[in-house]
Chain A
Amino acid sequence: MPETQRLVVVGNGMAGARFVEEILAKSGPEKFAVSMFGDEPQGNYNRILLSGVLSGTHDSKDIYINPLDWYERNGVSLFAGVKAIGIDRQSKSVYASGGHLVPYDQLVLATGSLPFMPPINGLYTDDGALAPGVFAFRTLDDCTQMINHAANVRRAVVIGGGLLGLEAARGLMNRGLEVHVVHLAKHLMENQLDAESGGLLKETLEEMGVTFHLEKLTQRVTTGDTGDNHVNGVEFNDGTTLDCEMVVVSAGIRPNVDMAKLSGLNTRRGILVNDDLSCRNDPNIYAIGECIEHRSVTYGLVAPAWEQATILAGRLTMTDPHVRYEGSRTSTKLKVMGVELAVAGNVHADDDQDEVVTYVEPSRGVYKKLIVRDGHITGAILLGDGTTAPRLLQAFDRDEQLPKDRAELLFPIMTESLADDIATLPDETQICNCNGVTKGAIVEAVNAGNRSYKSVSDATRAGSGCGSCKSQVEAVLEFAADGLIAEDPSAHYYVPSIPMGKTELIEAIKSQGLKSVSAVFNTLAGGREDPVSKIGLASLLKTIWDDEYDDERDARFINDRVHANIQKDGTFSVVPRIFGGITTPAELRRIADVAEKYNAGMVKITGGQRIDLLGIPKENLPDVWKELGMPSGHAYTKAFRTCKTCVGTDFCRFGLGDSTQLGIDIEKRFQGVEMPHKVKMAVSGCPRNCAEATVKDVGVVAIEGGKWEIYVGGAAGASVRKGDVLAVVDSPSEAIKVMGRFLQYYRENAKYLERTYGFVERIGIEPIRKLLMDDSTAEPARLDEAMQSTVASYVDPWLEGLNPIHESQFLTKPETSATVKNC
């Protein structure tokens, strides 16, 4: 057929629009002139996602597959919002509302389905419209109206406990409504589930707050007598009633056959079609989607409709002229309020010929059932645990021959880990694939005297290609060296790119006067910059040079560039310094004003007794700081953070030492001092230890006799460790001195990102105590002096708000997640 044929498609939903897409893809624009009728005024949207729109996860504009300009771009004439009324099969034309008459050479009906409205009194007003507050859940328009209505009501009744009803219930729950689901059958989703899984699903959903009314027939929707006829409840056939302000009817769908029937096409439940998808009594008219009845089956899912669309397009474009539709295997997977549910095929077994595998775990709401016939799945349910759903549903969709071990489809397979026991591996086992190095070769190299990873690697090339075998090479080394391993020097490198331990590196930096990260790279790393090493070096240089450090900002993490803590949405948190956690009404008022003015998304008292203003955009940081008029709390950087205090002696009945004053003094002294990692402190005024000082990096506890215990190396985060007592001192000033001494020692000797708890454990408290507390050596005095010089060089970084380092320091780079979607 060389000339263009007129193809008319009635229905612009999931089936009709997909069919036209397939036609265009398979034939190009020349073969057919396509016209489409759609009841709804918009283009084609993804009806599957309506439940997402209702529950608020999807924006309605994100669900369009074919917006109006798609039709224009593809040369399709769309009659949007025009209802096709009938077919003149004699003259081969479709007539529609508004007097349209469109002739066709090929006609495809994709009229979809309509919600089934059970015979319930009061559903409709006198003029035939649904009563105010009553909704069917079918179109985007329904959805929008439901959302608007739901905003003003408290309780909703959903009639129908099938798939769609439960999705509607979920959506309304998400919008804060109390939801009751009324269902006629004995258990939920009786078309997809058996009684046991239906019962389990109900229990799980009940725990989430849905109320179910099973085996109830709704007889009447009642309306208020306020004159607006607004729904105010439902009545059941057993005489009971339920108050509500919203009713959603989702009692199933029925094929929309009205126009086909009117035009004389054979219909039963749906439009009767043959395997070529032509109508039973008119082979020149085709039908696809939810409106058809094929081999006595109607479908209410999108997958069969799209399968039919592909087949029919293949036939009409002659690209696959002999393909036939032989029915679809239907399965579905959904998440009802977080409960995973996958269902496939017929879940009611035929006892004579089916093999049934079930697994039930009521306490977790887990139910798994597999019905197997001749080694293929005929039905399956996975409830509460969908881990194997992808595998199972693909096996069902493709009608795969099942593995003999059916458990593979119900439980995730534990992948065997590689042989852990290196000792038992044969010598010819290849360890390094890149370079084909066997276990035997490594053992030989070890025996020849290579006793470190590096020297084994140099000798055998093992690990020098892609590096993924490193841990196995190490394991072989350990096995072969039998305890005589020379430690890999690189494990002690402060940063990976410079082959020096920390002491050696500090020495080199000092002796060569290297004051910037790039100077270090140039001198000590052959000019090669290593991004991984930058931040660690920056921290070290700051420790060594204090204000002489040449601060190249690109070596810093974003937090340290803008002196605030980046949050997951790209805004920042602002924590002003509140010394010792002691504040004033005036300060609080100022904080409150700033939080309000700059719209802080959250105001939070932190674990360290400070106030955190969250959700501040980068560009507002300078103004926020200025208006707070408080120094930086350093909550964002690897430095001393806060010193938590208890109430102390002024008010507390038990206080032994003035913990608040000491806390303030500590914080004033150590604020902003850079550290290998964050450092948290606390002071408790008595051994009751309300400030939890014994699990801080450095903590002080007042004890009887005016003495103070100093703890170091405590932690109560991802790791928990009680600190070790470093010393007992007689006065607050002595305490501050010893703390400073320890901190300086930590700064000089810890690896970058090594917390004090790891550091103290690595060095051991005894050696530390000996070194720091023995005043007969010069070291304590040197440490005190170094700390003093660091403290003296402190400048509040928030002053950069007034004088940015460069003009774009606080400018926002292209926004990546605008709150308003306009792209």
Chain B
Amino acid sequence: MDRSPLVTTKTTATHCPYCAFQCGMLLGDGDGHLTVSGNDEFPVNNGALCIKGWTAAETLTHSERLLHPLIRSSDGRLRTASWEAAVDRIVEAITETQHKHGLGSVGMFGGGSLTNEKAYLMGKFARVALKTPNIDYNGRFCMSSAAAASIKAFGIDRGLPFPVEDIANAKTILLIGSNAAETMPPIMQYFDQQQSGGGKLIVVDPRTTATAQRADLHLQLTPGTDAALANGILHTLVVENLTDCQYIRERTNDFTLATNSAAAFWPGRVERITGVPESQILQTARILGESRGEAMILTARGPEQQAQGVNNVLAFINLALALGLVGEPNSGYGCLTGQGNGQGGREHGQKADQLPGYRKIDDPAARRHIANVWSVPESSLPMSGPSAYELLDGLGTEDGVKALLVFGSNVVVSAPHASNIEAKLRSLDFLVVGDFFLSETADLADVVLPTAQWAEEEGTMTNLEGRVIRRRRAVAPPPEVRDELQIFQDLATRLGAGDHFVFDSAEDVFTELRHASAGGPADYAGITYQKIDDLDGVFWPCPQEDHSGTPRMFVDRFPTPTGRAQFHAVTQNPSGEVPDPEYPLFLTTGRVMAQYQSGTQTRRIPSLGRIAPKPVAEVHPSAASLAGVKDGEDIVLKTRRGTANFSLKITPTIRHDTVFVPFHWAGSRSANLLTNPVLDPTSKMPEFKICAVRLEKSIT
């Protein structure tokens, strides 16, 4: 691949490396480094960026950047090595492990920040080159509950089945468990427009977040009681005749399943469960009901990252269907996706149970189609493997994976019950990590591969709207740094599967991805790089080249067998852990503005570090006073799984029974030392948002 000089004289229109909003940004020449500015022309962010975007280019030239492969030497230290030596080590380890323990003993773990092309090629590499069923990715920890619920209810999952601009036109928005004002600031322009046009914003969150502060109504619910709240609202809609009977009759199935469950959730009872005053439950139902079909219900990680995540989302989807919102103008249900390519990452075969195009791996027709595109016998395609946490939890065990390849994920920090995951990673025979910094996970690896960063590569991302956009190269990567596409190609060649991995460019990979996705639920067949350039992105499904994409879904029918959306019976189940005398508070985790995910990138950017230098636990004054701790001091949080250290912020903006901690830090300050790995039975989402915790003074 050709190498252009580090500094470019042209301006490159690409997108931010961080969240799913994928702000359009312009990278220009800044006298030795890249300058960043918001792209006014990109119709999603309209020029706005948050501080993570403004500072994004600082990781490119960062002094801690990995510039050579590293191999762990006999003295236990990672030492600089050549690519040749690194690839040799990896191929040798894979071959030996598979020889000793079978094909499934080698596994892969991916991430929601990888481009569509990488996610696709990684899935193919696992199935064709490694022939292992054991591949999953960190998107399980993000959107999997909303994805599973959407598929159950609508037959398909696309985060927002409408363009983000529709938000501005909704009369009412019910936003559950999202702190978008901090985690996705540029999206707030649409909520601002919505509110200044007279629309109502109702926010559901245990904390009075920056987002909740802007709401017309804030429902400060008890963690883990989302389904009860939704059922209470539905109960009121039914009783007060505020449902859309015609829509329900014509476009849905089994409404009574939902109303019968809601009959057990009268508002008085829901107040007791959720702590949300009955009057606010009634008010919410009435505001929604009186929006006459022009309302939106949006969920984010709050209700989703729970062992009841799918159940919770289905409860809110029931509401959206009862109100006749889905598929109607300026209305609907949507999930605010988290990771940069959280949407595309889950569509192209990175998930244990899926093949490209959002196909199910156990569907014979899907297997035939993919086998055909990949020119392999169908029988050679593995079946479904374990989900992310299950895969990680099984590492090094009898039937588990013995050698693991990780790309685009820092699981030591991001997986629940992190100490367990760290121990499991250490028990592996062999670990390969591809990253551009020595992340906490990379630090455990036998071989570390330095990978290219966003501004150094070509590819596509699919944003939270299902809009496929282009990531464009502004500068060449450093000389000894490679991107994952090349890494997969090289490894496949050495493993004897090179014939299946012949690509000259990311666009080449995309062309194959298009064929593979053709006819699947997430159909990219008609999307080309050119079309993306011409249309400011293309919304899937886009089945043919003369098709201009699908900004709004479900207008006429749902892709279910009956063409209708499905209601579900939903009840409120207790979360995996509830407070008790020993651990008397709820712990919930989340993000802060100036850091991102496991912090591998953002913790290294000085200006972000100044804003959010350390993890701060938010505690209500009354809980703080009971624990005898003071504002600003160091505290210890303990759960049944571990202990972690935080700095204390006493604030009345959080419920008295809840502690909030951000999860961007590692080591003894890692929130995931505390979290509970109980999984949702369907989505396998771990319960990041709830466990029982005790707050103590720090003794050191």
- The chain A residues found within 8 Å of chain B, CB to CB, are 21, 25, 45-46, 48-49, 52, 57-59, 62-67, 70, 303, 333-335, 386-387, 389-391, 393-394, 397-401, 403-405, 408, 413, 415-416, 430, 433-436, 461, 464-468, 496, 528, 530-532, 568, 570, 813-819, 821-823
CB-contact partner of B168 in A398, A413, A532, A814, under 8 A: A532
Contact for B275 among A391, A461, A468, A532, CB less than 8 A: A391
Tell me if B244 and A467 are in contact (CB < 8 A).
Answer: no
Across the interface, which residues of A come within 8 angstroms of B81, CB to CB?
none
A389 touches B248 (CB 8 A): no
How many angstroms between the C-alpha atoms of A434 and B48 in the bound complex?
10
By beta carbon, the residue of chain A nearest B286 is A568
Q: Determine the chain A residues whose CB is within 8 A of the CB of B622 once the complex forms.
A: 403-405, 408
Bound: A580/B447 CA distance, A:
90
Distance from B608 Cβ to chain A, minimum over Cβ atoms (Å): 8
Query: Which of B185, B274, B584, B594 interacts with A401 by CB under 8 Å?
Result: B584
Chain A facing B: main interface SS: loop
Q: Which of these binds chain A: B208-216, B416-424, B487-495?
A: B208-216
Q: Do A468 and B214 contact each other (CB < 8 Å), given the known contacts A46-B263, A403-B625, A461-B54?
A: yes
A-side contacts of B182, CB under 8 Å: 433, 466
Q: Which residues of B contact A400 (CB under 8 A)?
A: 584, 657
Sample of 20 further A-B pairs with CB below 8 A, known A393-B271, A405-B625, A817-B242: A65-B260, A65-B264, A66-B260, A67-B260, A70-B260, A333-B272, A394-B275, A403-B656, A434-B593, A464-B48, A464-B49, A465-B49, A466-B187, A467-B188, A531-B193, A570-B292, A816-B245, A817-B289, A818-B245, A823-B243
Q: Which residues of B contact A (CB under 8 A)?
A: 38, 43, 48-51, 54, 168-169, 180-182, 185-189, 192-193, 196-197, 208, 210, 213-214, 222, 238-239, 241-250, 255-256, 259-261, 263-264, 266, 268-269, 271-272, 274-277, 289-290, 292-293, 323-324, 571, 579, 581, 584, 593-594, 607-608, 610-611, 622-623, 625-626, 652-653, 656-657
Give me 24 A-to-B residue pairs in the complex whose CB atoms sit less than 8 angstroms apart, sorted by A's number. Answer: A21-B571, A46-B263, A62-B238, A65-B263, A334-B268, A390-B277, A397-B272, A399-B581, A416-B652, A433-B210, A433-B593, A434-B185, A461-B54, A465-B51, A466-B185, A466-B188, A466-B189, A467-B189, A528-B43, A531-B168, A531-B169, A816-B245, A817-B241, A817-B242
Pick from A70, A389, A398: contact of B271, CB below 8 A. Answer: A389
> Can you name the residue of chain A whose Cβ is closest to the Cβ of B166?
A531
A57 with B239: CB separation less than 8 A: yes
Docked complex Cα distance between A399 and B579 (Å): 10
Question: Across the interface, do B584 and A816 meet the contact criterion of CB distance under 8 Å?
Answer: no
Rounded to whole Å, the gap between the CB of A60 and the closest CB of chain B is 11
Most chain A beta carbons < 10 A, residue from B182, B607, B622, B653: B622
Given contacts A415-B652, A823-B248, contact A394 B239 (CB under 8 A): no
Q: Which chain B residues lie closer than 8 Å to A468 at the CB level?
A: 181, 188, 210, 213-214
Q: B50: which of A21, A394, A401, A435 is its contact (CB, 8 Å)? A: A435
From the candidates B181, B197, B248, B657, name the one contacting A466 in the complex (CB within 8 A). B181
Once the chains bind, are A393 and B210 in contact (CB under 8 Å)? no
Report the minimum CB–CB distance from A722 to chain B (whole Å). Answer: 29
Shortest beta-carbon distance, A449 to chain B, in Å? 22
A638 to B176, CA, bound (A): 36
User: Chain A residues with Cβ under 8 A from B625's Cβ?
Assistant: 403-405
Question: Which residue of A is nearest B625, CB measured?
Answer: A404
Q: Given A405-B622, A821-B241, are A394 and B222 also a contact pair (CB < 8 Å)? A: yes
Given A46, A397, A403, A405, which contacts B266 in the complex, CB threshold below 8 Å?
A46
B260:A64 contact, CB within 8 angstroms: yes
CB neighbours (8 Å) of A532 from chain B are: 168, 193, 196-197
* B250 proximity list for chain A (CB < 8 A): 814
A466-B210 in contact (CB<8A): yes
* Chain B residue contacts of A823, Cβ below 8 A: 243, 245, 248-249, 255
Q: How far is the CB of B454 from chain A (nearest CB, A)?
A: 20
Partner of B268, one of A21, A62, A65, A333: A333
> For A70, A389, A400, A823, which residue has the most chain B Cβ atoms within 10 angstroms?
A823
Q: Which of A401, A413, A435, A461 has the most CB of B within 10 A?
A: A435
- Find the A residue at minimum CB distance from B180: A466
Give the distance to chain B from A57, nearest Cβ to Cβ, in Å. 6
A767 to chain B, nearest CB (A): 30
Query: Who on chain B is nearest to A310 by CB?
Result: B574
- Contact indicator B293/A62 (Cβ below 8 Å): no
| Chain A min CB distance to B307 (Å) | 14
Cβ-closest 10 pairs across A and B: A403-B622, A466-B185, A465-B185, A823-B245, A466-B188, A434-B185, A823-B248, A436-B611, A465-B50, A814-B246
Closest beta carbon of chain B to A143's beta carbon, Å:
15
Q: Which residues of A contact B50 (CB under 8 A)?
A: 434-435, 465-466
Q: Which residues of B contact A415 (CB under 8 A)?
A: 208, 652-653
Question: Which of A64, A303, A465 counts the most chain B CB atoms within 10 A?
Answer: A465
B246 partner residues in chain A, CB cutoff 8 A: 814-816, 818
What residues of B have a CB within 8 angstroms of the CB of A64 in the complex?
A: 260, 263
Closest A residue, CB atoms, query B189: A467
Chain A residues, Cβ within 8 Å of B290: 568
> Chain B contacts of A399 at CB under 8 A?
581
Which of A21, A57, A65, A816 contacts B293 (CB under 8 A)?
A816
List chain A residues, Cβ under 8 A from B192. 467
Residue of B nearest to A398 (CB): B579
A contact residues around B181 at 8 Å (CB):
466, 468
* Residues of chain B lying within 8 A (CB to CB) of residue A530: 193
A326–chain B nearest beta-carbon distance, Å = 14
The CA-CA distance from A570 to B50 in the complex, in Å, is: 41
Given contacts A389-B271, A390-B275, A821-B241, contact A430 B248 (CB under 8 A): no
Nearest CB in chain B: distance from A815 CB, A: 5
Residues of B within 8 A of A822 (CB): 245, 249
A816 and B238 contact, CB distance less than 8 A: no
Tell me which residues across on chain A come within 8 A of B51, comparing CB atoms: 434-436, 461, 465
Report Cα–Cα, A544/B373, bound state, in Å: 62
Determine which residue in B38, B50, B210, B222 has the highest number of CB atoms from chain A within 10 A of its CB, and name it.
B50
The smallest C-beta distance from A408 to any residue of chain B, in angstroms, reads: 6
B245 x A815 contact (CB < 8 A): yes
Query: From residue B386, how far is it (CB to closest CB) to chain A in Å?
Result: 22
For B569, the closest partner residue in chain A by CB is A70
Chain B residues in 8 Å Cβ range of A45: 263
User: Knowing A467-B188, A531-B169 touch, does A48 contact B266 (C-beta < 8 A)?
Assistant: yes
Contact of B239 among A59, A303, A416, A430 (CB under 8 A): A59
Are A821 and B245 in touch, CB under 8 angstroms?
Answer: yes
Chain A proximity of B405: nearest CB distance (Å): 36
Chain B residues closer than 8 Å to A63, beta-carbon distance? 263
Q: How far is the CB of A460 from chain B (nearest CB, A)?
A: 11
In the bound assembly, the distance between CA atoms of A676 and B246 in angstroms comes to: 37
From B241, which residue of chain A is reached at the shortest CB distance? A817
Q: How far is the CA of A416 from the CA of B210 in the complex (A)?
A: 15
Q: Which residues of A contact B260 (CB under 8 A)?
A: 64-67, 70
* Nearest CB on B from A39, distance (A): 20
A49 touching B593, Cβ below 8 Å: no
CA distance A405 to B246 in the complex (A): 52
- Give the shortest distance, in Å, between A808 (CB) and chain B (any CB): 14
Give the Cβ gap from B249 to chain A, nearest Cβ, in Å. Answer: 6
> In the assembled complex, which residues on chain B have CB atoms less than 8 Å from the CB atom of A403?
622-623, 625-626, 656
Quick one: which of A58, A430, A467 contacts B611, CB cutoff 8 A? Answer: A430
**Min CB gap A572→B, angstroms:** 13
Bound complex: CA A531 to CA B197 (Å): 8
A679 CB → nearest B CB, Å: 21
CA distance A468 to B203 in the complex (A): 15
Residues of A within 8 A of B238 (CB): 62
Q: Which residues of A contact B197 (CB under 8 A)?
A: 531-532
A45 to B260 CA separation, bound complex (whole angstroms): 9
How far apart are B291's CB and chain A's nearest CB, in angstroms? 9
How far, in whole Å, are A400 and B43 apart by their CA atoms in the complex? 50
- Inter-chain CA distance A49–B260, complex, in Å, is 13
